A and B are shown apart, each in its own frame.
Chain A
Amino acid sequence: MSIKYQSQKIAEYFYTFAVVLFLVQVVVGIIAALQFIWPSFFILNFNTIRTLHINALVVWLLTGLMGATYYVVPEESETELWSLPLAKLQFWATVVAITAVVLGYIWMGLNPQANSPIMGITPLNEGREYIEAPRWADVLIVITVLLFLFINFMTMLKTKKWTGIQGTLIGGLTVLALMYLPGMFYTKSMVKDQFWWWWVVHLWVEGAWEVIAGALLAFMLMKVVGARREVVEKWMYIEVGFVMFTGILGTGHHYYWIGTPGYWLWVGGIFSSLEPLPLLFMVWDAFRTTREARNVENRAGLYYTVAHAIFNFVGAGLWGVIHTLPQINKWTHGTQITTAHGHLAFYGAYVLLVLAMIYITLPAIRGVKAFNASRAFQSFWWMTISMVFIVLTITGAGMVQVYMERLMGLDYVAVKANYNMWFWILRAIFGVGFLIGVGIFVIDFFRLGKEPAPAVTAAPERV
């Protein structure tokens, strides 16, 4: 394995930043899990820790996807990047902007008054979930994302090879950039605030990001098992098409109870119930394609690719559809059931996607022929088993919460502090298991290709 174009190496910069943030995300996640047991544990309050947890998640996945894009576009366009220095500038601008935002969060966490509005704008934290980044940072983020899109678009324009994979990838990234904008203005009404907020959050994770995932899945299947382009691209179009057909109006499942008209119960209920279907297509696609594979060199890459397809369906699809109908959601809305869905969906749909892309492209970037995949498998099982149990404990906590608080009328705090306590303890323990998996992955990331390859690779097994 080796790269065809030197500028593809820029991907490793983004991967490295992503991997470091992944570790940060999981460490603060464990602090947050402990705060469920001891609310005053740690110098920073839960809101700051949680802001760091979810922002680190979004940013590391995005930078991972950026790195993957910088790898895919030259390969598909069969040319060097339009401008490597600009891509490096874009990388460092991203790092600086994100670091400044994080320092702002911590500062505000230590001194809430530092976030007092200046001319009607909170300077350190917008106080809106997932898009806490303040307005000045929004502008910086938009500039770097536009620069990123521009570099890739100019690269594609050099050879004008409009392959389906890179077209879909850039299309998804463009929608991603556009859908950041509805979160960038202030509304006096909390209802309108949440209405537009869901444009960002839902149309990202159940729209643009799934389109990107579909394009990268097609790319990975071609790379790992040598699937034929015509076939994977056709299925990719069908998959991402259904993602959009169900996902756009599926936004309605967030418009049941926030002060929006009643017809959203119908629109959201019907379309979001169909959202798992394209994810099921992706699983079927992955299995059908890999079954035909004869000689797979990069078994770790294949493993993560197929696991991504499966857990995308289970986490984003199944764990979402169980509480998406209004009749059920009326009782589960705003409970730990949502947390459980969020964890498995992000892990399956996007964490495994970025890790799969890293395992498929990093050996080529480092010019490694074969690498010892044992750490890749170890980290996979530590992370996956731990995450499944984290999700099961939170789901259990959510079921108890729905029954006791929502149906019986017990106090929120009584349920959380008494009846859910064991779930929190178990969740924290499995969180440590997940951290072990991430630690093994981080070690593997930094050492892959830098130690002698083993004489014998692990015994082949069916995937």
Chain B
Amino acid sequence: MSNKAARNLFILGSLFFFAIFLGLTYDTMGKLDKRAPEITEQVNAGKMVWHKYDCIGCHTILGNGSYFAPDLTKATERKPKGYLKRFLMDPKSANPNASMPKLGIRDEEADDLIAFLDWNSKVDTNGWPPKPILAAAGGVAGKELTEGQKLYQSLGCAACHLINGIGGTTGPELTTVGARRDRSWLIGHFKNPEEYVKNSAMPKVEAPEADIEKLADYMITLK
């Protein structure tokens, strides 16, 4: 191959592949809005808050950004919105162990940001992030789950609490909670956490009385 032929191959080939890329980009642009919910004024305002505080300097969203703090794509699915709002405005009041600094996010900014995060959680991402294999497996080693264990999963308690190393770290660990609390305390606490723990960031457990009792029964087995 002569130098000139190599040069032409480089230039024309690059243009060819760029043309394909442009075509795919055009097609993609026409499809993106259908793969995500409508963008309201509040969602857009939330996006400006996201940029203003340079959230991406620590967090990822849709998996892109910094890898210093949790990915926020599904933040509103993983944590109750009331908790998120409180955390955004004053992280340590919601979780004393939080590393996130208090940035001065105002009340309405927090609402807008949560609307923006909620929008992101509903984008069709081709199934990302995938459900963890172990957590999705449910019952382990063929053992049937108790009613209380099923409720613990379906109510999303593990988003904030740890049991035997599995779960979130924003709330207190529950591995030995049965040794610390009795049944009536647990039931009362589920119905109104703030009455039992001052400034608790935990939302009320919205479930029928019978389910709350089953959940408490499960808790007291954890010793």
- Tally of B interface residues using CB under 8 Å: 76
Chain A residues lying within 8 Å of B124, measured Cβ to Cβ, are 259
Q: With A39-B99, A258-B64, A260-B32 in contact, is A47–B58 under 8 Å at CB?
A: yes
Closest to A254 in B: B64
Tell me whether A237 and B3 are in contact (CB under 8 A): yes
- Bitwise, A387-403 to B at CB < 8 A (1) or not (0) is 00000000000000000
Task: Tell me how far the C-beta of B6 lies from the nearest C-beta in chain A, rounded to whole angstroms.
Answer: 4
Q: In this assembly, does B54 line the interface, its C-beta being within 8 Å of a C-beta of chain A?
A: yes
Interchain CA distance A451-B123 in the complex, whole Å: 62
Q: Of the 9-residue stretches A60-68, A122-130, A302-310, which lies at the interface with chain B?
A: A122-130
Closest to B41 in A: A188
Q: In this assembly, does A410 line the interface, its C-beta being within 8 Å of a C-beta of chain B?
A: yes
- What range describes how many residues of A lie at the interface? 35 or more
Interchain CA distance A112-B52 in the complex, whole Å: 8
Tell me whether A333 and B128 are in contact (CB under 8 A): yes
Q: Of the 9-residue stretches A84-92, A147-155, A241-249, which lies at the interface with chain B?
A: A241-249
Closest to A339 in B: B67
Tell me whether B3 and A233 are in contact (CB under 8 A): yes
Tell me whether B21 and A251 are in contact (CB under 8 A): yes
Task: Tell me how far the C-beta of B54 lies from the nearest C-beta in chain A, rounded to whole angstroms.
Answer: 4
Q: In this assembly, does B103 line the interface, its C-beta being within 8 Å of a C-beta of chain A?
A: yes
Task: Tell me how far the C-beta of A323 lies from the nearest C-beta in chain B, rounded to whole angstroms.
Answer: 12
Residue among A128, A249, A259, A261 facing the most chain B CB atoms (10 A cut-off): A259
Interchain CA distance A265-B33 in the complex, whole Å: 19
Closest to A271 in B: B17
Closest to A199 in B: B25
List B residues at the A interface (Cβ < 8 Å). Answer: 1-3, 6-7, 9-10, 13-14, 17-18, 20-21, 24-25, 27-29, 31-33, 35-36, 39, 43-44, 47-48, 50-58, 60-71, 99, 101, 103-104, 116, 119-120, 123-130, 132-136, 162, 165-170
Show 12 residue pairs from A and B whose CB-CB distance is below 8 angstroms, ordered by the A residue. A50-B58, A188-B47, A241-B9, A241-B13, A259-B125, A260-B126, A334-B63, A334-B65, A335-B67, A411-B169, A413-B170, A414-B162
**Known contacts A129-B57, A234-B1; 12 further A-B pairs (Cβ under 8 A):** A50-B66, A50-B68, A190-B62, A191-B32, A191-B62, A192-B29, A234-B3, A241-B9, A333-B128, A334-B67, A408-B135, A409-B166
